[in-house]
Amino acid sequence: MLVAIQSPEGTKRIECKSNESVNSFLSKVQSAFDVNGDFTIYKERNRGNPLVSSDRKNLAYYGIKQGDTLYMSFQSSSPGSKPVPMDTMRRESEGTVAPGLLEDKVDTYLYKQSGTIQRDRDPKLCQHGPKGKCVHCVPVEPYNEAYLHEQNIKHMSFHSYLRKLTGGIDKGKFAALENISCKIKEGCKEHPPWPQGICTKCQPSAITLNRQPYRHVDNIVFENPFLVERFLNYWRCTGHQRIGMLYGSYEPHKDVPLGIKATVTAIYEPPQEGSRDFLRLLPDEKADLVDRIARDLGLVRVGWIFTDLIPENLQKGTVKHIRNINSHFLSAEECIMAGYFQNKHPNPCKLSPDGYFGSKFVTVCFTGDENQHAHMEGYQVSNQCMALVRDNCLLPTLDAPELAYVRESSNEQYVPDVFYKVKDSYGNEVIQVARPLPIEYLLVDVPVSTPNDPQFTFFADVSKTPFPIENRLLDGQVQDFPHLVSYLRQFNSDQFLEAMSDFHLLIYLATMDLLPLMDDLAPLLEAIRNKDRELASKWSRSDRWATVEHLLDCEGSSAPNSFPTENASGASNEASDSSLWICRHCTFLNQPHTSTCEMCSLPQ
């Protein structure tokens, strides 16, 4: 018989007999996982009913049958005789996921919620007292189809889907969230490698595409319209399309049972090339640093956003409505890009043998609506699409953006058959090969909104000119030292925390050519995260910031600790504009009347 063994290193199937001794079975497990240290096999996922090493007891004694799943836990060492780190053991005690992945706080919170939907007593149908319950008012499960249809909820939440899987008499004992694989399993010795041979054991199963009934994120919320307007201003100035990375957090969404919302607090714009009709991302050397700054601020990368806006009437400010049911919502190329990002940001899940399942990473498209106004549409691609993209099976078509194409098998790569169902003219379901493939089978739409009461994680004052956004090569929108000076001059001495509470400013301070501050920013980031004015003021008196103050003084301005203040007559003591300036290429101090550097001859 075959028995599956789940472990933090993956799942493997062991061939054994019911009358086989426990010691013999444990030896097979040790050989399959290449374990040199101590481990324990449990019958239950919560580490219940361990198998005790014995030559007298067999597998039948523990009631192990064909197709059962057992659970493996390393105690003192992991495969390859490497000790298990303390943080791995801590993750196992909190709810095991794959090594290196920690469950999101929102998942840990929702796992503990009952999720049942309370219903009031119906005065027409309920014939009992105020404290009684009947079929018309008893609480229903979060995946109840009638309730979801009544509330116009198109997709159940992911945690509602988990409750549905783990409900019933067996409490989800046989429920496993298996990730789809489109690759040939490695290690099969029964035939030569592909393309010379393949067998049913290592051959990936055919895939029939289905519309995903759940979604990992149920709503996307931009915490204030100011974020969106600043991102959209680039298109307004140039007419070129733009890509941004969304940073924020995942929180419970009260409008959907056991739902999750992605709250966006900042938009980072990576290096890119764009025009009216195309976008191309360039290598980003600062990507890891930006993620590090966001992490210290309590933020994560939750998605990406791009524009697809074509002007219709410049005087009226209208744009063309090009994405609709008659054309496409996302193109095949955009779906592949979304699948790539979702695979880079997997969703940690303790119910999956691999430790992850799906992704919470979202896609937002800025395009024209049916009223020819610019608006946002949110999407995710299905887990099936993620698998096809991860294993390089999906291609865009040349002249039909609404269609994708599944690769055909070649000598270099085996591709499993992919099908989808359609209804013919008689209403009968017909299975077709996914060459080509309608994109709507891969999409899951997610609502996008902004709150009625705007929230501001970072300081935003419309009366002040914000610090320029990174990687914008436009006049007046380049991040450089003169712009830092003019930005800081808008704040007085007691507004240091407000001045520093700008995501784009923090990225510039961490990477500026003159004096990068990344290694010294931790206390400031903590102060911004906790709105701690005293800690921010203490950091402003550090030696590193004193050096920046000196450079600011050389520019003819003053640092936040000595910002221009008003004198008794109400006049401002601002420095003269005709001050010395520092070359941002060689740091030479130049006279105010020169426009090129006297040392390197480069322009100011």
CATH of the domain at 319: 3.40.140.10
pLDDT digits (tens, 9 = 90+) for 122-162: 888 888 888 788 888 888 889 988 888 888 888 999 999 99
The total number of structural domains that make up the chain: 3
Q: Are residues 376 and 237 in the same domain?
A: yes
Residue 524 has which token pair?
């400031």
The alpha carbon dihedral of 182, 188, 193, 198 has a sign of negative
How far is Cα 353 from Cα 11, in angstroms, rounded to an integer?
6
pLDDT at 395: 93
| 194: pLDDT strictly greater than 90 | no
Give the list of residues 6+ apart from residue 82 with CB closer than 8 angstroms, or none: none
Q: Are residues 409 and 512 in the same domain?
A: no
Confidence of residue 244 (pLDDT cuts 50, 70, 90): very high
Among residues 23, 49, 74, the one where a domain terminates is 74
DSSP 565-593: -B-TTS-B-PPPSS--EE-TTT--EE-TT
Q: Are residues 443 and 487 in the same domain?
A: no
Confidence of residue 75 (pLDDT cuts 50, 70, 90): low
pLDDT at 558: 41
| 583: pLDDT strictly greater than 50 | yes
- How far apart, in Å, are the Cα atoms of 370 and each of 233, 308, 321, 323? 22, 14, 6, 9
| 564: pLDDT strictly greater than 60 | no
Would 538 be classed as within a structural domain?
yes
If one compares 496 and 561, the residue with the highest pLDDT of the two is 496
| 271: pLDDT strictly greater than 90 | yes
How far is Cα 199 from Cα 507, in angstroms, rounded to an integer?
52
Residue 204 parent element (H or E): none
CA 335 to mean position of chain CA atoms: 15
Give the list of residues 6+ apart from residue 253 with CB closer than 8 angstroms, or none: 157, 218, 219, 259, 260, 261
- How far apart, in Å, are the Cα atoms of 372 and each of 164, 228, 233, 324? 41, 18, 18, 12
Which structural domain range is residue 240 located in? 212-414+438-449
Q: Are residues 219 and 361 in the same domain?
A: yes
| 193: pLDDT strictly greater than 90 | no
pLDDT at 350: 83
∠ CA 199-205-209, rounded to 5°: 160
Specify whether the CB–CB gap between 560 and 489 falls below 8 A: no
Strand partners, 273: 280
Give the list of residues 6+ apart from residue 167 with CB closer than 8 angstroms, or none: 141
Q: Are residues 361 and 247 in the same domain?
A: yes
Q: Are residues 222 and 366 in the same domain?
A: yes
pLDDT at 556: 53
Would 565 be classed as within a structural domain?
no
Residue 236 has which token pair?
């307004």
How far is Cα 556 from Cα 592, in angstroms, rounded to an integer?
10
Q: Are residues 222 and 370 in the same domain?
A: yes
Q: Are residues 405 and 516 in the same domain?
A: no
Q: Are residues 274 and 369 in the same domain?
A: yes
Specify whether the CB–CB gap between 157 and 218 falls below 8 A: yes
Strand partners, 329: none
Q: Could you count the other beta carbons within 10 Å of the beta carbon of residue 190? A: 10
CATH of the domain at 49: 3.10.20.90
pLDDT at 173: 61
How far is Cα 109 from Cα 95, in angstroms, rounded to an integer?
12
- How far apart, in Å, are the Cα atoms of 313 and each of 273, 274, 310, 491? 25, 22, 10, 39
The average confidence (pLDDT) of the chain is 83
Give the list of residues 6+ apart from residue 101 with CB closer than 8 angstroms, or none: 346, 348, 355, 356
The alpha carbon dihedral of 481, 484, 490, 496 has a sign of negative
Q: Are residues 410 and 522 in the same domain?
A: no
Specify whether the CB–CB gap between 365 and 306 falls below 8 A: yes
Confidence of residue 317 (pLDDT cuts 50, 70, 90): confident
How far is Cα 60 from Cα 74, in angstroms, rounded to an integer?
24
Would 16 be classed as within a structural domain?
yes
| 573: pLDDT strictly greater than 50 | no
Would 48 be classed as within a structural domain?
yes
Report the pLDDT averaged over residues 429-443: 90
Strands 418-423 and 77-78, by their bridges, are: unpaired
| 602: pLDDT strictly greater than 80 | no
Q: Are residues 445 and 515 in the same domain?
A: no
Would 299 be classed as within a structural domain?
yes
- Residue 542's SS3 state is coil
Helix axes 287-296, 503-511, angle to 10 degrees: 120
Would 248 be classed as within a structural domain?
yes
| 306: pLDDT strictly greater than 60 | yes
Give the list of residues 6+ apart from residue 118 with CB closer than 8 angstroms, or none: 139
Q: Say what the pTM is.
A: 0.76
The alpha carbon dihedral of 188, 435, 361, 347 has a sign of negative
Q: Are residues 303 and 401 in the same domain?
A: yes
Query: Among the ranges 300-304, 555-559, 599-603, which has the highest mean pLDDT value?
Result: 300-304
How far is Cα 264 from Cα 302, in angstroms, rounded to an integer?
8
pLDDT digits (tens, 9 = 90+) for 448-486: 998 888 888 888 787 888 899 999 988 778 888 888 888
Strands 362-368 and 374-381, by their bridges, are: antiparallel
State phi, psi for 222 to the nearest 5 degrees: -85, 120
pLDDT digits (tens, 9 = 90+) for 282-301: 999 999 999 999 999 999 99
Strand partners, 365: 306, 377
Would 567 be classed as within a structural domain?
no
Would 193 be classed as within a structural domain?
no
How far is Cα 553 from Cα 548, in angstroms, rounded to an integer?
9
If one compares 278 and 341, the residue with the highest pLDDT of the two is 341
Among residues 399, 429, 449, the one where a domain terminates is 449
